[in-house]
Amino acid sequence: MNSPQRVFVLTGAGVSAESGLGTFRDRGGIWSRFDPMQLATPEAFGRDPVLVHEFYNLRRRGVIAAAPNAAHTALAHLESRLQQRGASLFLCTQNVDDLHERAGSRTVSHMHGEILEARCLGCEAVMPWREDLSLETPCPACGEAGGLRPDIVWFGEMPKHLDIIGAALREADLFVAIGTSGAVYPAAGYVAQARALGIRTCELNLEPSDNAAHFDEARYGPASVVVPEFIAWLLET
Ligand code: BV8
């Protein structure tokens, strides 16, 4: 394979699994214990904001306590090595944690938002947020209480940065999906778009995903092993 010049990587919960953050659809995953329609929709938040705040407070504390793993570190290394040779990495993540950034990735597109950011429904201010949130928490920007929510994308809400993600996908010469089940759209549709554009596609996952058939090649195993191996091989080509 020619050395890729514009690599597009899409990560999902599987890249953070070995950092101790739960995945969603694995055996024992988050959605096997909680109903996403009760917790990850704007209607759920309107119906029971206390429950939804509790759910995300638990997950926010988990993210803060977690550490990046070798897969996150390898992706940060890939970004800097590609830039040194005048090539580029576009890292798009469905994850709401900050482990890519803490591993050293400088440009990360969080299409489902970030759990360490809060947004005020009253004044629309978005701000870094590491504490628990509740209905009593006043917005630092407008002072109103009761309107703060995690700045993440729930089901039925428009994902973020779709314009730059779409442009980067169209420019790519290699598409790599890492640790994602291929169950959630529009992210799950990216591999089919890449193939339609004639872009080489590769899946790095614990086991075949829902759209495994769309990939030209695949390497299966834990991300902390498979991702560094794949990146070392990619940088030698
Ligand atoms: C939207 C919130 C309108 C934050 C999440 C067609 C087109 C467009 C939309 C839809 C469509 N069909 C249906 C829809 C609606 C819906 C949807 O996709 N529903 C599904 C269930 C069918 N999509 C939406 O509502 C989206 N918005 O559509 O807006 C629109 C319309 C057109 C165009 C644009 C917009 C909003 C989706 C975002 C919802 N928010 N979470 C949070 O709580 O975290 S979803 C949730 O799933 C997370 O964000 C997560 O990132 C995402 C995807 O899950 P994965 O990351 O893949 O995780 P999963 O557990 O599923 O899989 C883990 C994988 O890792 C597994 O394969 C496993 O084998 C592997 N693994 C495990 N351990 C390891 C490992 N791999 C390697 N190493 C390991 N150690």
pLDDT tens by residue, 21-69: 988 878 877 777 788 778 999 999 999 999 999 999 999 999 999 999 9
> Across all residues in the chain, what is the average pLDDT?
95
CB 204 within 8 A of CB 176: yes
Global pTM?
0.96
Give the pLDDT score at 35. Answer: 83
pLDDT band at 1 (very low <50, low <70, confident <90, very high): low
Judged by phi (left if over 0) then psi (alpha if -120 to 50, else beta), residue 155 lies in beta
Catalytic pick from 53, 72, 110, 112?
112
Identify which of 72, 98, 66, 81 has the alpha carbon closest to the alpha carbon of residue 9: 72
What is the whole-number distance in angstroms between the Cα of residue 184 and the centre of ligand 1? 3
Instruction: Show me where the domains of the chain are located.
Output: 1-21+68-112+159-237, 25-65+113-152
Match domain 25-65+113-152 to its CATH number in 3.40.50.300, 3.30.1600.10, 3.20.20.70, 3.40.50.720: 3.30.1600.10
CATH number for the region 1-21+68-112+159-237 comes to 3.40.50.1220
- 174 or 37, greater pLDDT: 174
- Mutate which of 75, 184, 220 for ligand 1 pocket (most atoms within 8 A of beta carbon): 184
Residue nearest atom 35 in ligand 1 by C-alpha distance:
158
Residue 2: predicted pLDDT: 76
Distance 104 CA to ligand 1 centre (A): 24
For the segment 123-129, the average pLDDT, to the nearest whole number, is 98
210 lines ligand 1 (CB under 6 A): no
Say if CB 208 and CB 224 are below 8 A apart.
no
| Residue 89: closest CA among 233, 221, 210, 231 | 231
Q: How far is the CA of 14 from the centre of ligand 1 (A)?
A: 12
Separation of alpha carbons 43 and 104, rounded Å: 36
